[in-house]
Structure 1
Amino acid sequence: MTSQTELDSAVREILAAARERSTDGRERVSVDARSLPDALARAEREGRVPIVAEVKPTSPTAEGTRADDPVELAEAMVAGGAAAISVLTEPDHFGGSPEALRRIRQAVDVPVLRKDFLLREAQLDAVEADLLLLIARFVDDLEKLVTAARERGFQPLVEVHDRDELEDALAAGAEIVGINNRDLARLEVDLGTFESVAPHVPDDVTVIAESGVSSPADVRRMRAAGADALLVGSAIMDHGEESDVTENVRRLTETTQ
């Protein structure tokens, strides 16, 4: 795990809140997951760029919030061609909740990723989802948490930021890897991060480009670097604006590949 002194203050606050979040009284979940690789392949067959569109009411790096009903947002994203939906469940800094994810998963027929700061096994049981985000940098025993997620039926998406973290993810058995272009020390985005790490991902591992994709040109750049899919949040949500979420997704999924 990275030293907290190396992290942006906002990230340190998020991690502190995650450690304190209660897990009392939770029953172990069992999930019949929708396959993300199948959903990405279906998008490819239909001529769409595979986009994982993110329902993110706000974030420490966004200006403003969107108060739309999360189910309506997710349905609009699917209408725009999203292959899957990512849902923030972190409540204090991103305005998310497990209940929002539960409602979204009932309403859409694509895989749904639970995106949160999950540090220990009991935190996996907050809500059923098809995928769980595990951030390699923050987990003490990544292999144990990957195994615990799979035992519940989740598909773990392991997020990395550099070559060393990628090696840790692969050693832990990750089959879906997200490469985050956002530097957690300064919260700055560099698409070159994906381009430097992606060539070292084995061919049989699904690789997703995360953060910083805001235009068709960015989509083409990440796809050329080997991205099987792209996780896009702020550019779709357009926080604080009454933008057309369906159209925001469509302009990315219909990018010439």
Structure 2
Amino acid sequence: MDANGEELAPAVRSILDAAHERAGGEERISVDARSFSDALADAEADGRVPVIAEVKPTSPTTAGRRDDDPVDLARAMVAGGATALSVLTEPEHFGGSTDALERVRAAVDVPVLRKDFIVEESQLDLVASDLTLLIARFVDDLSGLLQAAEERGFQPLVEVHTRAELDRALDAGADLIGVNNRDLGALEVDLDTFESIAPHVPDDVTLIAESGIGSTDDVRRMRSAGADALLIGSAIMDGDVTDNVRRFTTA
């Protein structure tokens, strides 16, 4: 079960169990983060749809694995117009690593999100990034972890899937919120999730649509529903990543 006492898909249960066993960093990190809000403004000024392109070697919901050098993929995504990048650092189930994130962040000049299942404050200290993901469903003390991330210089992206999780995120002080269209209990994707939650998000909160975005029609649908940016992984990793990013950023 998760922090809310709800059942999880076995694959997600395994990921969360591994997260609770993973050690944190030994020294507290301090980050000079690249501004995500500035990157969004630059994309809008250029007429690009703001896309966070995800470097995702594999996942429990995708078939196969992509073994390209993460730096090559990252540079190709930026060449396609990505506003920011998301890099998986979860090793057991997604093939990610903190080393990959370090190398990617050194190679590009856009903000980089650390995508992982962070459940303890010390796990924030494993690697520097510009943004870091906090999944409301998996965090007991969301306000405490969000504050700890901000104190280190991170821009926390708080992920929610339900209205109750949105309320928790807002109460904790989150001003950057992602709505995951994938139900981590059943691993099913429904874009209606974003459309049902977005109207309840205050105007001063930056809102990101996550998961299930596989076409330009999906991009337009999420933008019409209020998405300030889109996090896209599998649909970009499947094929030529530069062309895929360009297709979504010009939708």
State the TM-score, normalized to the length of structure 2: 0.98
Deviation at 1:2, TM superposition (A): 2.5
Match of 1:231, SS? strand
Could you tell me which of 236, 244, 248 is aligned with 1:248?
244
Cα distance in 1 for residues equivalent to 2:133 and 2:8? 19
The amino acid across from 2:5 in the alignment is S
The amino acid across from 1:16 in the alignment is D
What are the superposed Cα offsets for residues 13-72 of structure 1, whole Å, 9 maximum, x if unpaired?
00000111122x611000000111110111010000000000000000000000000000
Cα distance in 2 for residues equivalent to 1:49 and 1:144? 33
The amino acid across from 2:153 in the alignment is G
Deviation at 1:3, TM superposition (A): 2.2
Q: What is the match of residue 4 of structure 2?
A: 2
The amino acid across from 2:167 in the alignment is E
Cα distance in 2 for residues equivalent to 1:51 and 1:28? 30
Q: What is the match of residue 30 of structure 2?
A: 30
Q: What is the match of residue 12 of structure 2?
A: 11
The amino acid across from 2:9 in the alignment is D
Match of 2:170, SS? helix
The size of the alignment, in residue pairs, is 249
**Structure 2: runs of 5+ lacking an equivalent:** none
Cα distance in 2 for residues equivalent to 1:126 and 1:236? 27
Q: What is the match of residue 147 of structure 1?
A: 147
Q: What is the match of residue 209 of structure 1?
A: 209
Q: What is the match of residue 87 of structure 1?
A: 87
Cα distance in 2 for residues equivalent to 1:175 and 1:213? 23
**Structure 1: runs of 5+ lacking an equivalent:** none
Cα distance in 1 for residues equivalent to 2:110 and 2:23? 29
- Over aligned residue pairs, what C-alpha RMSD do you find? 0.7
Cα distance in 2 for residues equivalent to 1:71 and 1:114? 15
What are the superposed Cα offsets for residues 184-220 of structure 1, whole Å, 9 maximum, x if unpaired?
1110000000000011100000000000001000000
Cα distance in 2 for residues equivalent to 1:174 and 1:22? 25
The answer on 1:119 being equivalent to 2:115 is no
Q: What is the match of residue 42 of structure 1?
A: 42
> Equivalent residues in 2 for 1:37-186 (5 A)?
37-186=37-186
Match of 1:204, SS? coil
The amino acid across from 2:141 in the alignment is D
State the TM-score, normalized to the length of structure 1: 0.96
The amino acid across from 1:177 in the alignment is I
What are the superposed Cα offsets for residues 159-192 of structure 1, whole Å, 9 maximum, x if unpaired?
0001100000000000100000000111000000
The answer on 1:223 being equivalent to 2:223 is yes
